[in-house]
Amino acid sequence: MLNKYNFSLPNVIFFLVISLPMVSIFGSFLADFFLSLSSLLFLIHCLIKKNYKYFKNIFFIIFLIWYFYLVVLSLTSKYPLLSLQSSLFYIRFGVFVLCVYYLILNYKEFLKFFCLSLLITFVFLTLNSFFQYFFYFDFLGNKYDGIRLSSVFGEKKILGSYLSRLAPLFIGLTFIVFKNNNKIIYLSLIIFVFIDLLVYFSGERAALFNLLFFSLILIFFTNSFKRIRVIALFISIVLISLLSLYNKTTFERMITKTIQQTNIMNDKPNLFSIQHQVIYLTSFKIFKDHYIFGIGPKNFREFCSSEKYKTYTNLDNSVDGCQSHPHNFYVQLLVETGPLGTLPIIVLYIFLSYIFFKHFYYLTLKNKMYLNDNFVIISSSLLINFWPFIPTGNFFNNYVSFLIYLPLGFVIYMIQEKNYKN
C-alpha cells in the first residue's frame, strides 16, 4: 500500500502517473515531462532492484525492435536530424506502458487514485468549458470564437479529442473502482452527457465520430452499460438541440459542413473530405517512390513541398496536399516508415478486432460473454485511436502519443494477467 510519507522512488513514480490527467490539460510540455520522468525513474528503479521481468514482456520486445527500426530509418533518411527528433527518444512511450503495468500490478490504490484524477480533470474541464460557452472566455482567459469550444487548450482546440480518447479509460475505471456502488449508474449518466455535450461543441468532427463509435461498442458489445448509454445519448441529443438554438454556428460546422464535404446526400459520397483526399493522394505519390522503407519519420513535410508530389483540389487550388503530416496514422506510417514500420499497429488492431468479433459472436449466437465489460470499454480507446478511416493527428506528436500509450498500459496489463476474458 502507498505510504504518503514515504518518498521512495516507486511512490514518486506513482504520484507522477496519477497526476498526468490533470497536468496534461495545461500543455503538451507538462504531459511529456511527467510521462518521460516517470518512465526514466521506472527504468532506474528496475535497474537498482535488478528487476527485468517487465522488459521481457512480448509487447515491449516488439516495441523495442520497432523502435530500433525507426532509429535506423532516421539515420538513413534524407533529413536525419529531423527524423531523430521524433524517433530517438520515442522509447520513453514503450517504457511508460510498462510503468503503468507495474503500478497496476503492485499498487492496489493505483486504479482508484488514477480514476479520481481523471474525474477531477473532467469536472474541471466541464465547469471551465460551460463557463467559456456562456461568457465567451474561460477561467484562464481563453476566448470562445462562437464556433468551437477550446477550454484550457486555447488555440489548439483539442478539447473534443482529449475527452473522446480518454472517455473509455475513465468510464472503464469508474466501473471497476465503484462496481459495488449503486450511485455509479447516475454518475455514469451525468458523465456521459457532459462528455457528449463538450465533444459536440468542441467542433471536432473526428472526436464526435470517436464518441459515436465508442457508444456503438457500449450498446452492442457490453451487457452492463447499453441501457445507460442509450439514455445518456437521448438526453445529450435533446440538450444539444436546445443549446444549438442558442448558437447555430457549431451545428453548421459539425453537421452541415460535414454533409457538404463528404457528399453524403449525393449518389457518390466521399469516405473522406476533399481536403483530406488531396493529402492522401500526395502521400500515395510519395509512397510509390519509397514503398520499401518510406522517407523517414517526420519527413513528409519536406517531401510534399516538391513540385513532383504537389496535389490540388479540382475545385479550389488553395487547398493542397502538402501539410505537416498526412493526417492519418496508417498513411503516415506507410509513407514515413514503410510497410514494416506500419506492421505493429496493424497487428495490434487486427488482434483487438479479432477478439471483439469473437466476443460479438459469443454474445449474439451463444448468449455468453467472451470478454468482460471492463476490458471491452478500456480497450475500445485503442480501437477508436487506430480506426483506419478517420483523420488523425501526427502519430509522432508527443501529445498524441501520450493519449495513445496511456490506455495501452491498462490494456497490456489486462491481457498479460489474463484479466480480459469473462
pLDDT at 401: 92
Domain containing residue 341: 9-261+329-416
Residue 241 counted as domain residue: yes
pLDDT at 103 over 60: yes
Question: Hey, which residues does 320 pair with through a beta bridge?
Answer: 312
pLDDT at 284: 92
Residue 267 counted as domain residue: no
Measured CA to CA in angstroms, residue 39 lies from 12, 101, 182, 307 at distances of 11, 12, 37, 42
Distance, C-alpha 194 to centroid of its chain = 19
pLDDT at 4 over 60: no
Any idea which residue has 477550446 for its cell?
150
pLDDT at 102: 96
User: Mind listing the pLDDT tens digit for each residue in 135-192?
Assistant: 999 999 999 888 889 999 988 889 999 999 999 999 999 888 887 776 777 787 888 8
| CA 229/CA 213 separation, integer angstroms | 12
Residue 192 counted as domain residue: yes
Q: Encode burial over 371-403: b for 16+ CB neighbours within 10 A, e otherwise.
A: bbbbbbbbbbbbbbbbbeebbbbbbbbbbbbbb
pLDDT band with cut points at 50, 70 and 90 for residue 106: very high
Residue 315 counted as domain residue: no
pLDDT at 112: 93
pLDDT at 272: 65
Helix (H, G, I), strand (E, B) or coil at 143: strand
pLDDT at 261: 63
Domain count, the chain: 1
Give the burial class of 365: count Cβ atoms within 10 A of its Cβ; 0-12 exposed, 13-18 middle, 19 or more buried.
exposed
pLDDT at 418: 86
All three cell numbers of 299, joined, read 519527413
| CA 18/CA 406 separation, integer angstroms | 11
Residue 289 counted as domain residue: no
Residue 25 counted as domain residue: yes
- Dihedral angle at the C-alpha atoms of 399, 401, 407, 413, nearest 10 degrees? -140
% of residues, the chain, pLDDT over 70: 91
Question: Hey, which residues does 371 pair with through a beta bridge?
Answer: 421
Residue 275 counted as domain residue: no
- At 267, the amino acid letter reads D
User: Mind listing the pLDDT tens digit for each residue in 192-218?
Assistant: 899 999 999 998 888 988 998 999 998
pLDDT at 99 over 70: yes
User: Mind listing the pLDDT tens digit for each residue in 240-289?
Assistant: 888 877 777 777 777 766 666 666 656 666 666 677 888 888 999 999 99
pLDDT at 1: 47
User: Mind listing the pLDDT tens digit for each residue in 365-415?
Assistant: 888 889 999 999 999 999 988 998 888 889 999 999 999 999 999 999 999
pLDDT band with cut points at 50, 70 and 90 for residue 316: low
Residue 27 counted as domain residue: yes
Q: Encode burial over 302-325: b for 16+ CB neighbours within 10 A, e otherwise.
A: bbbeeeebebeeeeeeeebbbbeb
| CA 97/CA 105 separation, integer angstroms | 12
pLDDT at 5: 44
All three cell numbers of 174, joined, read 469508474
Identify the residue with better confidence: 337 or 222. 337
pLDDT band with cut points at 50, 70 and 90 for residue 310: confident
All three cell numbers of 92, joined, read 520513453
Q: What does pLDDT average to over the chain?
A: 88
pLDDT at 363: 86
pLDDT at 288: 94
pLDDT at 319: 62
User: Mind listing the pLDDT tens digit for each residue in 12-67?
Assistant: 999 999 999 999 999 889 999 999 999 999 999 999 999 999 999 999 999 999 99
